[in-house]
Amino acid sequence: MDKLVIEGGRPLSGSIRIHGAKNAALPIMAASLMCEGQVQLRNVPRLLDIDVMLGILSRLGGVAVQQDDTVILDASGANSSHVPEDLMKQMRSSIFLMGPLLARFGEVCIYQPGGCAIGERKIDLHLRGLAALGAKIEENDHQIWCRAVRLVGNDIHLDFPSVGATENIMMAAALAEGTTVITNAAREPEIQDLQHFLNAMGANIIGAGTDTITIQGVASRTMRV
């Protein structure tokens, strides 16, 4: 097909149901690792990336299933902080697991998402943000290890407003000691959705939707729904 020909002048009517946003669902699914108890997310689209995230959460030891447009998660039994390489390389958004796994277990092992290099896909912003909270970063061959005996709040300025880096820092800082302030933060709607979800679990976060987000850490390895 070389072109579309559209003849206007006719009234339009009808209705359509808008599915939930994948970009909001994926970080919230990752954040479920930080709480004890069952999480239900409704109006979640049925997409490959959602299936991959469900697979990762299941492999980490949690319960993760989708029934129609409802995702049911329970990470109470999660027992691993090592993200499976085969699944991580299927989805860029698997990088969202760094913050919650580090906050819960004190360490996380990931691989290059999609097999790309750090400098090419700007994973460095994620790593620098977590390092500012006290994580030690080690890169060994194609693995990246982040470890922290404890996470401590800090003032973190992002070189550019990365959505993923903002979300990873928010999740890790939610269980850190003290206050974290992210400046030049991303402002996208999914940032606000993540803030609402984390606060519903007991976090103390304000500012999502602006360029400054303040996170007052809560003293627990996990939160509750």
Taking the CB of residue 88, how many other CB atoms lie within 10 A of it?
Answer: 22
Nearest in space to 182 (alpha carbons), one of 209, 221, 203, 202: 209
Residue 139 has what DSSP assignment? E
Residues in the chain: 225
Alpha-carbon separation of residue 107 from 99, 136, 137, 144, 195 (angstroms): 9, 9, 10, 11, 23
At 82, is the secondary structure helix, strand, or coil?
strand
Is there a catalytic annotation at residue 35? no
**Helix, strand, coil share of the chain (percent; to 5):** 35, 25, 40
Cα 81-187-92 angle, rounded to 5 deg: 35
Q: Where are the alpha helices (DSSP H) in the chain?
A: 22-31, 48-59, 85-88, 98-105, 118-121, 123-132, 163-174, 189-200
Contact 36, 30 (CB under 8 A): no
Catalytic residue among 35, 109, 116, 146: 116
Residues 135 and 151: beta-carbon distance below 8 Å: yes
157, β-bridge pairs: 183
Residues with catalytic function: 116
